[in-house]
Amino acid sequence: MRRFAEAEDLSGVVRDAVGGEVAAAGVERLRGGSKKGVYRVRLTGAAMPSVIVYSWADEENFWPGGAAAEGVDGTDPFAPASGMEPFLAAQRLLHGLGARVPRLLLADGSRQRYGADVAVVEDVRGGTLEALFAADPPRAAKALEDVARILELMRNHRAPRYGRVDLLERGGAALGSSCEQLVLDRALGDLGEAAGRDGRIRAARGRLDDRLRTLRALVAPRTEHGLIHGELGPDHVLVTEGGEAVLIDIEGLMYFDVEWEHVFLRLRFQERYGPLARPGLDPRRLDLYTLAMRLSLVAGPLRLLDGDFPDREFMEGIAEHNLKEALALLP
């Protein structure tokens, strides 16, 4: 039985983050997180009504094997990105570039205040961009323009090596020989996992394998990489009351082919992708990465469902939709 944080567990962390005679009046665990706990803590005795607390406790990670899953190579850009260190590295870099992220109030890896690594950040109360598309389209359109601005800042912040920001910051080197080869290898792994869980993928496995290898062979080498979020959907963008876009779930920030980001953006923003589109993207990379992304979005949710992730119908829907889209990409 998983135990999640309550008000008394987080009171000391929040008091140290905000200062004064602050008390936690209540805690709400926000839904959607699969690798960390995200809590809105209501405050008394503070100028701000609430803060957000991120907890990287083992109980908060719903992926099979958790944070210490066997066989996971931490130098793989696609390894599950979770933890205070990647969060802080991403927060520093994005803030320095002028990309809005939640303001950091406290980060504590001592485990003296709380039994896990935690960070306290500002509570951006304007809601997600996803919700705003329905509730306030003009305000959402303004925020979408801000997302486009942030993406351009990130795209132009280039590096000769690919890899997650925290790894490169420590002087490490990422797994693999190139982004396109890494994507192919991962896609073949996802294909194998999905084929083991679904008969439709199993029946088409040979054709999907051939298609992936054909698309990979068409991609030319590249020597520079832009900065990407990796999972930038409208649910990972909060909007301030002033209309600013604020990026969240940033632990996977990495230098990589920007085409990978744009494939995900097209999938998640759909008809609203237009303002985010940019010229100069490599169409051959886009073709390879689109099929690879679809297979990832089949295998990943099915893998998550091996555990006790609570929103099972939602994950099943993601897997089913992307399975059909992957098969539709076959010639």
Q: Please state the domain extents for the chain.
A: 7-122, 129-328
How much is the pLDDT for 68? Answer: 46
How is domain 129-328 classified at the architecture level of CATH? Alpha-Beta Complex (3.90)
| Span 7-122 CATH architecture | 2-Layer Sandwich (3.30)
Per-residue pLDDT in tens (0 to 9) along the chain, 331 residues: 677 778 788 888 999 999 878 888 899 998 766 689 999 999 988 789 999 999 998 787 765 554 444 457 889 999 878 889 999 999 999 999 999 999 999 999 888 888 889 999 999 988 999 999 999 999 999 999 999 999 999 999 999 999 999 999 999 999 999 999 999 999 999 999 999 999 999 999 999 999 999 999 999 999 999 999 999 999 999 999 889 999 999 999 999 999 999 999 999 999 999 999 999 999 999 999 999 999 999 999 998 888 777 779 988 999 999 999 999 999 9
Closest CA to 187 of 298, 283, 82, 265: 298
Report the predicted TM-score, pTM, of the whole model to 2 decimal places: 0.90
The DSSP output letter for 221 is P
Q: Is 20 exposed, middle or buried (0-12, 13-18, 19+ CB in 10 A)?
A: exposed
